[in-house]
């Protein structure tokens, strides 16, 4: 059984990553909306920004390297192996780069949907993502379900889905039905793709042929986001978006300086989002990651009411209550499971054993 110190560290890491994911999963869609509603037009630029902040990850990676070097110097054991700056081996690099390209495609589909659809419709489709995550997690990582987690999936999907009941006033003015249908289809495909990406990250942790540490999780994010932004950069070049981007700063509704703040802010917030996501998957599972993202859908709506003065209506209130109920149900199930494991430690052996929190 895991030592008590390891379990406490794992819980602290999980809480930190849940906070990062919650911040990114609400802030990301809000800042994308800020870009589009004030005159931003480039879907490729918006999707590029979702990955482009990856150099930020070099900061925690450098801190991790310094900590490991200090530990090594202070250690009384003789260790002749060279301290590596890069821990990732080829199989994990290949997995991360493939997931990165798929993420680049997803970022484009997701940005396209957010820019073309009414807020409520986009919320409905993003809500379906949790069901896709559950299905792919079942096949890819043999996710086990309890009555509590199934209850949570149904409540959270319903909760966010209720937002779609209220569509008037949300639909962008003067949008053609072709653009609307394309927005719908692209967002739905993005929900399927992201529902696939989350369990695929968990799958790569177990199949990467090396023990996963938090430093390695950071390296995985760096590689993933590098390839995601490369994919979108190529898209930007092919679609000749650069010309329109150089002009749009002059016409941006909030002014030129705010335009740059929105772009840089986007890049940072999406890194926080992905860092939270890969971290929650590392500490717990892709299913919990999906549950948290679904919980953030109605919370984002409430924040949009506060920050963008969007209308608050009964559906948003009911949606929030259902989502919180689903979330509590999930955690109650997890709590009961943890208690069962404390009583019967042999069950712990069924958990993944290739992860280490205490060794960064």
Residues that bind ligand GUN (CB under 6 A): 28, 106-107, 110, 126, 129, 190-191, 194, 273, 293
Cα–Cα dist 354/360, whole Å = 13
Between 232 and 357, whose beta carbon lies closer to ligand GUN?
A: 232
Taking the complex as a whole, the smallest distance from the CB of residue 193 to ligand GUN amounts, in Å, to: 6
Between 130 and 357, whose beta carbon lies closer to ligand GUN?
A: 130
Taking the complex as a whole, the smallest distance from the CB of residue 267 to ligand GUN amounts, in Å, to: 13
Q: How far is CA 82 from the centre of its chain?
A: 34
Tell me the three state secondary structure of residue 356. Answer: strand
Taking the complex as a whole, the smallest distance from the CB of residue 191 to ligand GUN amounts, in Å, to: 6
Cα–Cα dist 329/150, whole Å = 9
Cα–Cα dist 84/20, whole Å = 27
Cα–Cα dist 21/286, whole Å = 12
- Cβ atoms of 354 and 202 within 8 Å: the answer is no
> What is 23-73 written as a DSSP string?
HHHHHHHHHHHHHHHTT---HHHHHHHHHHTGGGGHHHHHHHHHHHHHHHH
- Cβ atoms of 212 and 358 within 8 Å: the answer is no
> Which of 246, 270, 243 has the alpha carbon at shortest distance from 104?
270
Between 99 and 357, whose beta carbon lies closer to ligand GUN?
A: 99
Between 64 and 157, whose beta carbon lies closer to ligand GUN?
A: 157
- Cβ atoms of 163 and 313 within 8 Å: the answer is no
Backbone angles phi, psi at 261, to 5 degrees: -60, -40
Between 190 and 322, whose beta carbon lies closer to ligand GUN?
A: 190
Taking the complex as a whole, the smallest distance from the CB of residue 24 to ligand GUN amounts, in Å, to: 8
Taking the complex as a whole, the smallest distance from the CB of residue 139 to ligand GUN amounts, in Å, to: 19
Radius of gyration over alpha carbons of the chain, in Å? 21
Taking the complex as a whole, the smallest distance from the CB of residue 36 to ligand GUN amounts, in Å, to: 15
Between 148 and 194, whose beta carbon lies closer to ligand GUN?
A: 194
- Cβ atoms of 283 and 291 within 8 Å: the answer is no
Taking the complex as a whole, the smallest distance from the CB of residue 146 to ligand GUN amounts, in Å, to: 24
The two three-digit tokens of residue 56, written as one number: 């930020």
Q: In the chain, what's the furthest Cα-to-Cα distance?
A: 71
Cα–Cα dist 86/73, whole Å = 19
Between 190 and 200, whose beta carbon lies closer to ligand GUN?
A: 190
Taking the complex as a whole, the smallest distance from the CB of residue 299 to ligand GUN amounts, in Å, to: 13
């Amino acid at each position: 059984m895991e030592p008590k110190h390891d379990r406490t560290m794992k819980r602290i890491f999980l809480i930190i990553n849940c906070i990062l994911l919650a911040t990114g999963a609400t802030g990301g869609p809000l800042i994308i909306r800020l870009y589009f509603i004030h005159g931003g037009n480039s879907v490729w630029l918006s999707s590029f920004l979702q990955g482009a902040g990856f150099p930020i990850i070099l900061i925690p990676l450098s801190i991790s390297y310094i900590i490991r070097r200090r530990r090594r110097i202070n250690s009384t054991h003789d260790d002749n192996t060279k301290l590596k700056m890069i821990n990732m081996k080829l199989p994990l690099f290949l997995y991360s780069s493939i997931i990165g390209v798929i993420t680049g495609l997803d970022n484009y589909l997701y940005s396209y949907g957010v820019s073309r659809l009414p807020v409520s419709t986009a919320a409905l489709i993003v809500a379906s993502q949790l069901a896709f995550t559950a299905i792919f997690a079942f096949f890819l990582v043999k996710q086990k379900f309890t009555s509590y987690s199934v209850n949570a999936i149904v409540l959270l999907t319903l909760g966010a889905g209720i937002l779609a009941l209220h569509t008037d006033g949300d639909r962008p003015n003067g949008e053609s039905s072709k653009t609307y249908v394309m927005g719908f289809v692209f967002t739905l495909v993005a929900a399927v793709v992201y529902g696939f990406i989350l369990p695929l990250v968990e799958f790569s942790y177990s199949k990467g042929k090396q023990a996963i540490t938090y430093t390695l999780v950071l390296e995985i994010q760096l590689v993933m986001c590098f390839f995601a932004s490369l994919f979108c950069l190529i898209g930007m070049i092919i679609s000749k978006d650069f010309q329109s981007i150089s002009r749009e700063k002059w016409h941006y509704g909030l002014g030129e300086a705010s335009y740059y703040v929105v772009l840089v802010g986007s890049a940072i917030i999406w890194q926080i989002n992905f860092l939270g996501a890969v971290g929650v998957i590392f500490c717990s599972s892709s299913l919990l990651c999906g549950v948290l993202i679904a919980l953030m859908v109605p919370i984002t709506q409430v924040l949009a009411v506060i920050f963008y003065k969007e209308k608050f209506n009964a559906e948003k209130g009911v949606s929030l209550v259902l989502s919180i109920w689903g979330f509590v149900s999930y955690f109650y199930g997890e709590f009961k499971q943890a208690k069962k494991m404390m009583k019967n430690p042999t069950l712990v052996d069924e958990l993944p054993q290739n992860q280490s929190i205490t060794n960064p």
